C-alpha cells in the first residue's frame, strides 16, 4: 500500500540484520520496542525490524515523516482501520488455511467465504478513509485513499460479490466432460454458473433434462464417483480462488504491517510526551557529509525506565567523521553515546527523535561495539571476544556507515588498548566510516588531539571541582584522568 516506501511495501517477514542483537543490547532498544508495541505482539514484531532496518534515502525518510505526522493528527481513524484489518485477517486465515479436508470443493467454499470477508473489509476501510479524507495531507495517505477508491470502488466490489455468490452453486455444480478414446472421462470443465441465467439458460436446462440420470439413493460407489467428478471439475477454480484469496490477504496484511509501524510510533510519542520530553522530526542529510548536531537530545530508554525526564545534551552542528568522548567515570558518556545511536536509528526509519533539534548524515548502516560484562560462557578471553565482534563489523561495514564504540578494548592494559583503538579508528576513517568513541583511555584520544590525522570533535563528560557529575557532555580537551578516585571515595569513603 506504500505508506513506508514510495515504490514498495515494507516486508515484515524479512530476516533481522545480523547485528540485531547487538543493537538492541548496546543501544538499549528493548524499552523502546515494548512501548511502541503497547502490548500488541504484531506491532512489536514490525517495529523491532523497522527500527533497525532503516533507509538510506532522504526523500523516503521525509515521506515517512509526512505519513507519521498524519497518523498523529488522525490516530483514532488509523487505529480503527488497523482493528478492522486485524479482525479480518484473523477470520480469513482461519477460514482459508484451516480446512480439515482440502478437497477442491472445500477449497472453493472456504476461498469464497474468505474473499467475501476481505472484500467487506476493504469496503469498510475505504469508507472510513473516505469519511476523513480531507484530514490526511501526506503523499502516503493520499495515495492510499486514491488507490482504495480506484481499485475497490462500489461497482467493482458489487460485481465481484455477484461472481462469488454464483460460485456457491445454489443450483448445483455443472461439469462438462468428454469421452476419451477408451470411453474414459476427460477434459473436465466447470460450466460457468452465471451463464444459466436468462432464456438461453432455461432452454439449455430443458435440453439437458432429456438426458437425466438419477443416482440411486444407496449407491455409495456411484456417489463417491460423482463426488470425484465434481472435484475434478472444480480443481482449476479452486486453485484460482485460493490464489485470489491469498493475494488479497497479502495486500491487506501489507497495509496492516505499515499501519502497525505508525501506530507504534504514535504509542511512543504519547509515552514520551507524558514525560515532558521535547519531540521533533529530525533533518536527514545526504550520506558522506558526516554532519551531526542536536539540541536537548534525550536517551529514550533511560527516560522510559525512569518514567521521568533525564538530563539532555547539546552538540553544535559539526561536519567531522570522528567524535571522541572521554572524561569522568559515571559521567554520562555511555548515555550520551546511546542517545545518538537511538536518534540515528529513529531518524533513518522515518520517526521523530527525542530532541528539540537533530540533524545527521544518513548512514549506510549503524554498528555498535560496546564492552561486555564477564560472561562464563565465553570460549576465550574477553579481548578475544572483543576482537571477534570487531572482525564481524569489519566484514559487514560499508562506506558512510556509523560505528559506535563504548569502552572497547578495556579488557587489556591502557597502552595496548589505546594502540588497538588508534589503529582501528584510523582504518575505519580511511574507509569513509564515521566513528563515535567513548573511552577511559588517555593516550588514545590525546594522540588524535595532538596529531590531528583526521578532523575530529573532542568531548568531555563534565565534572565539577567537588566531584559532582552533571551528566552533561561538552567539547573539551582530553583529560589525563577518568577520576576513578571519585568512585572509590563514594564507595569506600575518603581514602586520604
Residues 179 and 96 in one domain: no
| Grid cell for residue 124 | 469498510
User: Which set of grid coordinates corresponds to residue 148?
Assistant: 482504495
Q: Are residues 252 and 385 located together in one domain of the fold?
A: no
Q: Is 113 helix (H, G, I), strand (E, B) or coil?
A: helix
Same domain, 160 and 266: yes
What pLDDT shows up at residue 378?
47
Amino acid 200: pLDDT = 54
Q: What is the domain range of residue 199?
A: 175-230
Neighbours of 88 (CB within 10 A): 24
If asked whether residues 294 and 150 sit together in one domain, one would say no
Please report whether residue 13 resides in a domain.
no
Do 113 and 194 reside in the same domain of the chain?
Answer: no
Q: Is residue 207 part of a domain?
A: yes
User: Considering its fold, how many domains does the chain have in total?
Assistant: 3
Residues with Cβ < 8 Å from 452, sequence gap 6 or more?
Answer: none
- Residue 354 has what pLDDT? 98
Tell whether 235 is covered by a domain: no
**H/E stretch holding 323:** strand 322-327
334 lies in some domain: yes
For residue 424, with 0-12 CB atoms within 10 Å meaning exposed, 13-18 middle and 19 or more buried, which class applies? buried
Q: Are residues 295 and 194 in the same domain?
A: no
Residue 167 is classified by DSSP as T
What pLDDT, in 10s, does the model give residues 17-44? 899 999 999 999 999 999 999 999 999 9
Q: Confirm whether 2 is domain-assigned.
A: no
Is 257 in the same domain as 317? no
Q: Indicate whether 127 and 263 sit together in one domain.
A: yes
Residue 236 DSSP one-character state:
H
Residues in the chain: 496
- Enumerate residues 6+ apart whose C-beta is below 8 A from 324: 437, 439, 444, 445, 448, 456, 457, 458, 459, 478
How far is it, in rounded angstroms, from Cα 310 to Cα 456?
Answer: 27
Q: Structure pTM?
A: 0.84
Pairwise CA distance, residues 259 & 63, whole Å? 15
Q: How far apart are CA 313 and CA 41, in angstroms?
A: 33
Closest to 164 (Cα-Cα) out of 128, 208, 110: 110
Query: Do 216 and 343 lie in a common domain?
Result: no
Three-state secondary-structure class, residue 480: coil
Same domain, 332 and 307: yes
Mean confidence (pLDDT) of the chain:
84
Q: Given the C-alpha cell 504514535, which residue does it identify?
A: 266
pLDDT of residue 161: 79
How high is the pLDDT of residue 247? 86
Per-residue pLDDT, 202: 46
How distant, in Å, are the alpha carbons of 40, 123, 166, 312, 313 from that of 339?
A: 26, 43, 60, 9, 9
- The per-residue DSSP string of 310-321 comes to ---EEEEEEE-S
- The answer to whether residue 292 sits within a structural domain is yes
Residue 484 lies in a domain: yes
Number of neighbours of residue 30 by Cβ within 10 angstroms:
14
Residue stretches of the chain with pLDDT short of 50: 199, 202, 205-206, 376, 378-379, 487-488, 496
In 3D space, the residue among 401, 441, 312 whose CA is nearest the CA of residue 23 turns out to be 401
Q: Which of 22, 75, 20, 95 is nearest to 51 (CA)?
A: 20
Instruction: State whether 334 and 480 are in the same domain.
Output: yes
Residue 8 lies inside a defined structural domain of this protein: no
Q: Is 12 helix (H, G, I), strand (E, B) or coil?
A: coil
Amino acid at each position: 500500500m506504500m505508506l513506508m516506501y514510495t515504490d514498495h511495501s515494507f516486508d515484515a517477514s524479512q530476516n533481522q540484520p545480523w547485528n540485531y542483537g547487538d543493537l538492541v543490547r548496546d543501544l538499549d532498544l528493548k524499552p523502546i520496542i515494548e512501548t511502541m508495541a503497547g502490548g500488541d505482539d504484531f506491532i512489536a514484531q514490525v517495529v523491532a525490524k523497522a527500527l533497525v532496518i532503516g533507509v538510506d534515502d532522504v526523500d523516503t525518510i521525509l515521506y515517512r515523516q509526512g505519513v507519521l505526522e498524519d497518523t498523529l493528527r488522525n490516530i483514532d481513524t488509523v487505529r480503527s482501520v488497523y482493528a478492522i484489518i486485524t479482525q479480518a485477517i484473523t477470520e480469513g486465515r482461519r477460514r482459508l488455511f484451516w480446512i480439515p479436508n482440502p478437497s477442491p470443493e472445500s477449497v472453493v467454499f472456504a476461498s469464497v467465504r474468505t474473499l467475501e470477508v476481505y472484500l467487506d473489509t476493504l469496503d469498510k476501510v475505504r469508507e472510513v478513509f473516505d469519511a476523513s479524507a480531507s484530514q490526511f495531507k501526506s503523499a502516503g495517505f493520499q495515495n492510499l485513499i486514491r488507490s482504495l477508491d480506484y481499485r475497490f470502488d462500489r461497482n467493482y466490489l458489487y460485481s465481484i460479490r455477484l461472481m462469488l455468490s454464483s460460485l456457491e452453486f445454489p443450483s448445483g455444480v455443472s461439469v462438462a466432460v468428454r469421452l476419451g478414446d477408451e470411453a474414459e472421462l476427460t477434459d473436465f470443465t466447470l460450466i460457468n454458473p452465471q451463464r444459466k441465467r436468462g432464456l438461453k439458460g432455461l432452454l439449455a436446462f430443458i435440453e439437458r433434462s432429456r438426458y437425466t440420470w438419477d443416482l440411486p439413493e444407496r449407491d455409495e460407489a456411484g456417489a463417491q464417483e460423482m463426488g470425484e467428478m465434481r472435484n475434478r471439475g472444480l480443481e482449476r477454480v479452486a486453485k484460482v480462488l485460493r490464489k485470489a484469496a491469498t493475494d488479497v490477504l497479502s495486500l491487506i496484511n501489507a497495509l496492516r504491517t505499515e499501519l502497525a509501524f505508525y501506530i507504534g510510533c504514535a504509542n511512543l510519542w504519547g509515552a514520551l510526551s507524558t514525560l515532558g520530553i521535547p519531540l521533533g522530526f529530525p533533518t536527514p542529510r545526504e550520506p558522506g557529509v558526516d554532519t551531526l548536531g542536536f539540541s536537548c537530545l534525550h536517551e529514550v530508554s533511560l527516560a522510559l525506565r525512569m518514567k521521568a525526564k533525564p538530563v539532555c545534551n547539546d552538540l553544535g552542528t559539526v561536519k567531522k567523521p570522528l567524535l571522541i568522548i572521554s572524561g569522568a567515570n559515571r559521567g554520562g558518556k555511555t548515555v550520551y553515546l546511546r542517545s545518538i545511536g537511538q536518534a540515528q536509528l529513529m531518524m533513518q526509519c522515518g520517526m521523530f527523535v527525542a530532541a528539540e533539534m537533530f540533524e545527521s548524515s544518513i548512514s549506510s548502516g549503524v554498528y555498535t561495539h560496546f564492552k561486555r560484562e564477564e560472561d562464563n560462557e565465553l570460549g576465550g578471553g574477553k579481548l578475544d571476544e572483543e576482537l571477534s565482534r570487531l572482525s564481524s563489523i569489519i566484514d559487514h561495514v560499508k562506506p558512510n556507515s556509523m560505528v559506535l564504540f563504548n569502552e572497547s578494548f578495556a579488557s587489556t592494559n591502557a597502552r595496548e588498548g589505546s594502540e588497538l583503538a588508534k589503529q582501528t579508528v584510523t582504518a575505519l576513517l580511511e574507509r569513509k566510516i564515521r566513528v563515535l568513541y567513548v573511552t577511559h583511555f588517555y593516550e588514545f584520544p590525546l594522540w588524535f588531539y595532538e596529531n590531528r590525522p583526521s578532523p575530529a570533535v573532542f568531548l568531555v563528560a563534565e565534572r565539577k571541582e567537588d566531584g559532582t557529575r552533571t551528566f552533561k557532555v561538552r567539547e573539551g580537551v582530553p583529560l589525563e584522568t577518568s577520576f576513578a578516585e571519585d568512585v572509590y571515595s563514594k564507595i569506600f569513603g575518603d581514602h586520604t
